[in-house]
Amino acid sequence: MIAALRLYATQVVLANRMALADRANFALQAGGMFINNAFMLVLWGLFFAGFKSVGGWRQGDMALLMGITMTVVGVSGVAFGGYRDMAATILRGELDALLTQPKGLMGRLLARECLATAWGDLIGGPLLLAGFARLSWGEAPLVVAGIAGGTVVYVSAGVCFASLAFWASGARSFARDLTDFTLVFSTYPGSIYRGAVKAIAFSILPAGFVVMAPVRMVRDASVETAAMVAGAAVLYAALAMALFHLGLSRYRRGASVAG
């Protein structure tokens, strides 16, 4: 296990070095995302200046939600960036070469890419949490646990979406759209979701477990909320592994899904 983790860490470092090869492009992408997040923070700040709360959510709660979301996306893109274009990797038949290597195919797929924009999120998220979320030091471990759980759910959902490429040739854009919709769901107060939309946010597009459940765990710490975050992480990780390996079992070397 230690050797596998060391190998994975080495692959992540190499992916980050590759992303840094074009420093100007890297700075533009990371800086652009940081500015975009700052702009969103200003917009929400103006909103809460006029409306003190939305369904019980106040400015500090929104800052907590945004900070966790940004950090989750940042960690995912820096340490597991391959999830973003995994469907394309499958469709291009690039698994052929990887299948000849030692076990750990999913790990190699996740560690093969670093998203430059993720660094903007990874820098901005903790700054937002520290400066605007009105957290106490006692809540810091809960925030870390929430980010860890949210990251597992988010990356696992990305793998599930990408695994559709084993069955459908159009899965690349569809997988990206589903991932993007999950992020969209993660950027609004959880109190606005009702009925079928809330069900979707806690199932198909698991924004509820990516950020809403972690926010609830921080603000209302209890065994139940902690179990919800941990249980969702285990469930979605298991689902991602099952769907990926089910698809892999029907994968034909040298042939695309369309063929």
> What is the structure's pLDDT at 7?
87
> What is the structure's pLDDT at 259?
45
> What is the structure's pLDDT at 258?
47
Q: Does the CA dihedral 255-113-20-70 come out positive or negative?
A: positive
> What is the structure's pLDDT at 252?
66
First-residue to last-residue Cα distance in the chain: 38
**Contact by Cβ (8 Å): 210, 69:** yes
> What is the structure's pLDDT at 64?
95
CA distances from residue 231 to 11, 28, 57, 158, 186 in whole angstroms, order as listed = 28, 38, 25, 18, 19
> What is the structure's pLDDT at 242?
96
What are the residue ranges spanned by the domains of the chain? 2-248
* Residue 40 to residue 27: CA distance in whole angstroms: 20
* Residue 221 to residue 187: CA distance in whole angstroms: 22
* Residue 156 to residue 190: CA distance in whole angstroms: 21
Question: Per the structure block, which two tokens stand in for 137?
Answer: 């030091």
* Residue 107 to residue 88: CA distance in whole angstroms: 16
Q: Could you give the 3-state DSSP secondary structure of residue 57?
A: strand
User: Tens place of pLDDT for every residue, the chain, 259 residues?
Assistant: 788 889 899 999 999 999 999 999 999 999 999 999 999 989 988 988 888 888 888 899 999 999 999 999 999 999 999 999 999 999 988 888 888 777 789 999 999 999 999 999 999 999 999 999 999 999 999 999 999 999 999 999 999 999 999 998 888 899 999 999 999 989 888 888 888 888 988 998 999 999 999 999 999 999 999 999 999 999 999 999 999 999 998 886 555 554 4
Please, which residues have CB within 8 angstroms of residue 44's CB and are 6 or more apart in sequence?
59, 62, 63, 66
**Contact by Cβ (8 Å): 158, 244:** no
> What is the structure's pLDDT at 56?
83
* Residue 152 to residue 58: CA distance in whole angstroms: 27
Please, which residues have CB within 8 angstroms of residue 51's CB and are 6 or more apart in sequence?
none
